Amino acid sequence: MQMARDAGHILIERQGRSLRVSSKGDINLVTEADLAAEELIIERIRSYYPRHAILAEESGASNGSPSATQAEWKWIIDPLDGTTNYAHGYPCFCVSIALERAGKIEIGVVYHPVSNELFAAERGQGATLNDRTIRVSEIDELNSAMLCTGFPYDVRERNDFARAFTNFTMRAQAVRRDGSAALDLAYVACERFDGFWEDGLNSWDIAAGALLIEEAGGQLSNYRGAPLDIYSPEVLASNGLIHEVMMKVLTN
């Protein structure tokens, strides 16, 4: 999707400059690059689909044109997932764009501008990385699995946030924490990671990556196995083969 690439180019062009960085909380940042990339995406969507609703991380929700009484279609946008990484020059961040229709994600795109990798999925059509079909891994034992997670922004208020991290570290082959949930989910879809879990996410962090995993043959749920709700903060994603054992670690 070209608008994801164009937004990513804005991020690359502005990285390393003297960026204005502000705070949305104790450790949650926003930069002028987030805002510029989001503005480009929203303007592009509105020029082609003026009646569609938009949910964007920095701008919040809008319901399309005044003539749209109830939008069937909604774009869910994170113009810069991994803002803290970006602000520190750590090259793990991405653009995430999803299109929801009547409660189901129909299109998902995650673009990593540093590596020029475009992950894309359309419901029923599979998932791709730079136009090449991708599938989840075939690792079927937790002790051979490479997992990834993220820490919530309210981590300082959660006394037990590290429990799952510790348990998985002791049982999996490796555990990583990269700071970009959308990119982590894309990496599960293309078998770089075998599983991912996190509590404290927003819909714009999850939407595109969730469809990538679904179309790549993976599995998604909350920690107790209920179907994933992208508007709920809890997500467990895997290749499907280690899903049950990951649930047991998370709920025991």
Cα–Cα distance, 243 to 142 (Å, whole number) = 9
Average pLDDT on 235-249 reads 98
- Higher pLDDT pick, 20 / 130: 130
pLDDT tens readout for residues 98-108: 999 999 999 99
pTM over 0.75: yes
39 phi and psi, to 5 degrees? -60, -45
pLDDT tens readout for residues 130-174: 999 999 999 999 999 999 999 876 666 666 778 899 999 999 999
Label residue 28 by pLDDT band (50, 70, 90): very low
Q: Which of 211, 193, 163, 226 is nearest to 92 (CA)?
A: 193
- Report the mean per-residue pLDDT for the chain: 90
pLDDT of residue 59: 77
Share of the chain above pLDDT 70, in %: 87
Q: Which of 134, 132, 74, 129 is nearest to 105 (CA)?
A: 74
